[in-house]
Amino acid sequence: MADNGDKKFGEVVLSVKDLRTYFYTRWGVTKAVDGVSFDLRKGETLGLVGESGCGKSVTVLSLMRLVPIPPGRHVSGEVILDGQDIMELSDGEMSNIRGRKISMILQDPMTALNPVFNVENQLGEPIRIHQHLRGKALWDMAIDALKRVRIPAPEVRIKDYPHQLSGGMRQRVVGAVSISCNPLVLVADEPTTSLDVTIQAQYLRLLKDLQEQAGLAIIFITHDFGIVAKNCDRVNVMYAGRTVEEADVRTIFNDPLHPYTQALIGSLPKMEEDVERLYSIEGQPPALYDLPPGCAFAPRCPHAMDKCNEAYPPEFVPGERHGVKCWLLEGTAPLREEAVKV
Amino acid sequence: MTSQAPQAPAVEASADGDMVLQIQDLKKHFGVSSGFLFARSKGSLKAVDGVSYDIERGETVALVGESGCGKTTTARCILLLEKPTAGHILYRGDDVVTMKRDVLAEYRKGVSAVFQDPWSSLNPRMKIRDIIGEPMAINWDISREQRKERVGQLLNDVGLHAYQMELFPHEFSGGQRQRLAVARSLALDPDLIVLDEPVSGLDVSIRAQIMNMLKDLQEQYKVSYLLIAHDLGTVRYMAHKVAVMYLGKIVEHGHASGATGVFEETLHPYTKALISAALPSHPDIVREEIVLRGEVPSPVNPPSGCHFHPRCPWVMDVCSQVEPERKEWRPGHSVACHLYDPDHMATPIEDLDQAPRVY
């Protein structure tokens, strides 16, 4: 059943519509992001999944307006955050939003902290800059952030330097830094690569806690389907710069419709059961400067038809909040433009 | 002790049970200098502290455990990258630890490795033909033509093309480079290949390709693998046997698949905690996570008795006093825990659910 279980989500806080970010170099144009769309609601966790080169990191950099321009260029598309299209803002205005309304949690929580500054300094920085607080007000906010990530004796710990903190504590402090200004959206880019299983579990629990406390919306960029299964409510699968399938997490695991999603799900080994043979797709993801005409996945797709090599498929909507860009759905599902908006 | 016959594991072990490597009570201690004169207790980091297991022909043995458990150091000892402090590594009956140089040369041909990072493991200045051919050029007395032919055959074995031997590593993708690393490791027709996180640096869709290839090659050449992997799904898919390590010791050892495997019938509290923390393979799988108290202690000063006792949710008094021996609980499944030991328990348990939890 393609629904979100018993979780209730709030209103849409972030709406990305047909985002396109290209890089212009002397060797040609790299269409790093070429049509990504999703809506993110309050309290919801979206998993942006895909393999190397699919464009997920550039998508998120685009959301944060951190793409180097030039050679990058925001070609088209809207990113509506809290009612405002952030693509239209000036650099100064965006600087104000970044860290405050949309915040990014750094990749490696164990080494993300600056070793020569103590917690108070690092935690205080975003608060000082965005909230313009000083003195006691700043202190209170910093202590509050530490309490929210459940650091015991925060008044003492706040004076510590990173090397004085255990791994688990450092993780929490990094979490505190990113939520210190109460953002609406938190972006976590591959936050648990190279972490041990138990540390990873702790970290994901922390993020879930933070989400429950404040109705935070989270975007997880990951290629780890375990994170998707555990923490994500919705999944946006990217291939060669585009969203190819978007649906709630159960649909993605139980009934994926795009051949790429199907192949990915089928290729995952499972700890919980014996798998006779993993499904493996031939070849590898294409280079973004050398995309085939038509559907980028066609060369590797077991169901490819002539049409697939000629034109890139539009988005079909086979179910409520389920979008698939694949010609196989033509005739059996309405186009996005025709579908009734949810 | 249960007398129930174990169900055959899904992944079939080798038919002839021929032994490739026997690791017996292996220890590797690193001296730690503190700047003072040592008192009675020596400062030494006990990375590997008495590890024993066998690897049979055509079988995959996986070592799992978190950072610092000693799995990498064990593999390095096997590859002769570290000199063991004590213990034996028997290769075809001879102890590698005390072997003479000329006999060691045979061992070096018999054991090779594939490392985690496909980007740094191939010499960027050498052609593929030379990277894969080098071990043969050094160790075998065959002509250049014969070598070239074998390189071509190895490239086919790993799903690449013979003509690619004229290319350089940078012309290949990550997944292809890992295939090249495997081809190189097969060059001398080894008995054992150490696979250190062979797929964790690769994209998800490529991992299945490489894992399937490794399994097919094992089937074809009856080569054994020592697999180090942190992803338990990978371990279950690839391995026949799995050894769970904690602070330099093996706490549990058994089958990697099947109803009697370590994942289905988990005995050791640490294994149970590790599995409970693993990410699910489906959103509907909800595991009650056992959150261990404390952090992993330093291997320089491991806790008394059972190294795991300060963090164990089922700890008993005897655990801090006596170190548990790893004993066979069922054929093919052993555990180092007093809860299962009739020498320390009036009624040894069959299942962790039968033992009271301290927290």
B271 touches chain A (CB under 8 A): no
Give just the sign of the alpha carbon dihedral A33, A35, A41, A47.
Answer: negative
Question: Mean pLDDT across chain A, nearest whole number?
Answer: 87
SS3 assignment, position B104 = helix
pLDDT band at A16 (very low <50, low <70, confident <90, very high): very high
Whole-structure pTM value: 0.87
DSSP B97: G
Q: Is the predicted pLDDT of residue B190 greater than 70, yes or no?
A: yes
**β-strands B192-196, B111-114: how paired?**
parallel
Contacts of B11 in chain A (CB under 8 A): 274
Q: Is the predicted pLDDT of residue B40 greater than 70, yes or no?
A: no
**Structure tokens that stand for B244 in this block:** 């769970």
More confident residue, B101 or A3: B101
What pLDDT, on a 0 to 100 scale, did the predictor assign at position A7? Answer: 63
pLDDT in tens, B206-264: 899 999 999 999 999 999 999 999 899 999 999 999 999 999 999 999 999 988 899 99
What pLDDT, on a 0 to 100 scale, did the predictor assign at position A342? Answer: 39
* Shortest CA gap A182–chain B (Å): 28
pLDDT band at B319 (very low <50, low <70, confident <90, very high): very high
pLDDT band at B13 (very low <50, low <70, confident <90, very high): very low
CB contact (8 A) between residue A225 and residue B257: no
pLDDT in tens, A119-174: 999 988 888 888 888 899 999 999 999 988 888 899 999 999 998 888 778 888 88
**Structure tokens that stand for B268 in this block:** 């050791």
Contacts of A197 in chain B (CB under 8 A): 66, 230, 232, 274, 277-279
pLDDT band at B272 (very low <50, low <70, confident <90, very high): very high
- For range B320-335, the mean pLDDT: 93
What pLDDT, on a 0 to 100 scale, did the predictor assign at position B15? Answer: 41
**Structure tokens that stand for B125 in this block:** 């200045």
Task: Give first-to-last CA distance, chain B, whole Å.
Answer: 27
Contacts of A278 in chain B (CB under 8 A): 208, 211-212, 237
CB contact (8 A) between residue A271 and residue B207: no
d(CA A64, CA A187) in angstroms, rounded, equals 9
Q: Which residue of B has its CA nearest to A284?
A: B206
Laid out side by side, the sheet with A12-25 consists of: A28-41, A12-25, A72-81, A84-85
* Shortest CA gap B104–chain A (Å): 35
Is the interface score ipTM higher than 0.90? no
What pLDDT, on a 0 to 100 scale, did the predictor assign at position B5? Answer: 34
- For range B282-298, the mean pLDDT: 88
pLDDT band at B39 (very low <50, low <70, confident <90, very high): low
pLDDT in tens, A287-306: 787 788 899 999 999 999 99
Bond preceding residue A71 cis, omega within 30 of 0: yes
More confident residue, A79 or B345: A79
CB contact (8 A) between residue A197 and residue B277: yes
More confident residue, B313 or A182: B313
CB contact (8 A) between residue B281 and residue A268: yes
Of B282, B291, B295, B296, which to mutate for an interface test with A (greatest number of A Cβ within 10 Å)? B282
Could you tell me the CA-to-CA distances from A34 to A71, A72, A246 in Å, in that order? Answer: 16, 13, 15
Q: Is the predicted pLDDT of residue B337 greater than 90, yes or no?
A: yes
CB contact (8 A) between residue B263 and residue A224: no
CB contact (8 A) between residue A268 and residue B204: yes
Q: Which residue of A has its CA nearest to B203?
A: A51
CB contact (8 A) between residue A226 and residue B295: no
Residue type at A23? Answer: F
d(CA B165, CA B162) in angstroms, rounded, equals 6
Contacts of B277 in chain A (CB under 8 A): 197-198, 200-201
A-B C-beta contacts closer than 8 Å: 127
pLDDT in tens, B147-187: 999 999 999 999 999 999 999 999 998 889 999 999 999 99
Question: Mean pLDDT across chain B, nearest whole number?
Answer: 88
CB contact (8 A) between residue B257 and residue A274: yes
Angle (nearest 5°) at CA B152 between B148 and B156: 165
What's the number of CA atoms in the CB half-sphere (13 Å) around residue A84?
A: 12
A70 phi, psi to nearest 5 deg: -75, 175
B286 touches chain A (CB under 8 A): no
What pLDDT, on a 0 to 100 scale, did the predictor assign at position B17? Answer: 57
What pLDDT, on a 0 to 100 scale, did the predictor assign at position A193? Answer: 65
CB contact (8 A) between residue B283 and residue A196: no
Contacts of A253 in chain B (CB under 8 A): 282-283
d(CA A243, CA A315) in angstroms, rounded, equals 9
Q: Which residue of B has its CA nearest to A253?
A: B282
pLDDT in tens, A174-210: 888 888 888 999 998 877 666 777 778 888 888 888 8
**Structure tokens that stand for B312 in this block:** 């164990």
CB B226 within 8 A of CB B78: yes
d(CA B270, CA A312) in angstroms, rounded, equals 51
- For range B128-150, the mean pLDDT: 93
CB contact set of B36 (below 8 Å; sequence gap of 6+): none
Residue B344's CB is within 10 A of a number of other CB atoms, namely: 16
pLDDT band at B61 (very low <50, low <70, confident <90, very high): very high
What pLDDT, on a 0 to 100 scale, did the predictor assign at position B38? Answer: 52
CB B6 within 8 A of CB B260: yes
- For range A99-106, the mean pLDDT: 86
CB contact (8 A) between residue B237 and residue A281: no
B117 touches chain A (CB under 8 A): no
What pLDDT, on a 0 to 100 scale, did the predictor assign at position B12? Answer: 41
CB contact (8 A) between residue A284 and residue B275: no
CB contact (8 A) between residue A281 and residue B209: yes
Instruction: Please state, for a pLDDT cut of 70, what percent of chain A lies above it.
Output: 94
Q: Residue A239 belongs to what H/E stretch?
A: strand A234-239
Bridge partners (DSSP) of residue A38 are A16
Residue with tokens 């069922």: B330
pLDDT band at B34 (very low <50, low <70, confident <90, very high): low
